[in-house]
Amino acid sequence: MGLIIRLPIMTNKPNISDEDLNILTIEKGQFIAKENQSAFDITHGFTERDSLEIHINNLYLEKDINYSVSDNGKTINVPTLAKGDVVSWRLFKFKNKKSICGEMLCGELNCGEGV
């Protein structure tokens, strides 16, 4: 399993309105890997509604390409790590995920209610 190298996404302060603060929880963690470590646990789990960012030595990992999720979203499987690799993660847990549906027609976006 190879790594896709992409610049880290730096979001020091997410652009979230006061109204949205009650629907979002942010969890984060960082640790130094042990030799041949290939998984770590997230306490509250990860669902399809959530957004998870994982970095190993400041390299961003892509879900289903560089890492996978198992054990009902609690275990994150990564490429085999070397002793001393720095793993950091941020989990954005959404209680109600909002979206906008629509289609692009000649540069105009026709919006509707999302699911």
Q: Give 35-87 pLDDT, tens digit per residue.
A: 999 999 988 788 878 889 999 999 999 989 999 988 888 899 999 999 999 99
| 8 Å CB contact between 86 and 32 | yes
Query: How far is CA 23 from each of CA 10, 34, 45, 97, rounded to the nearest angstrom?
Result: 21, 35, 16, 8
Residue 33 covered by a domain: yes
Number of domains in the chain: 1
Residue 12 covered by a domain: no
pTM of the shown model: 0.62
Range of the domain at 89: 18-113
| 8 Å CB contact between 77 and 38 | yes
Residue 41 covered by a domain: yes
| 8 Å CB contact between 23 and 95 | yes
Q: Is 50 left (phi over 0), alpha (psi -120 to 50) or beta?
A: beta
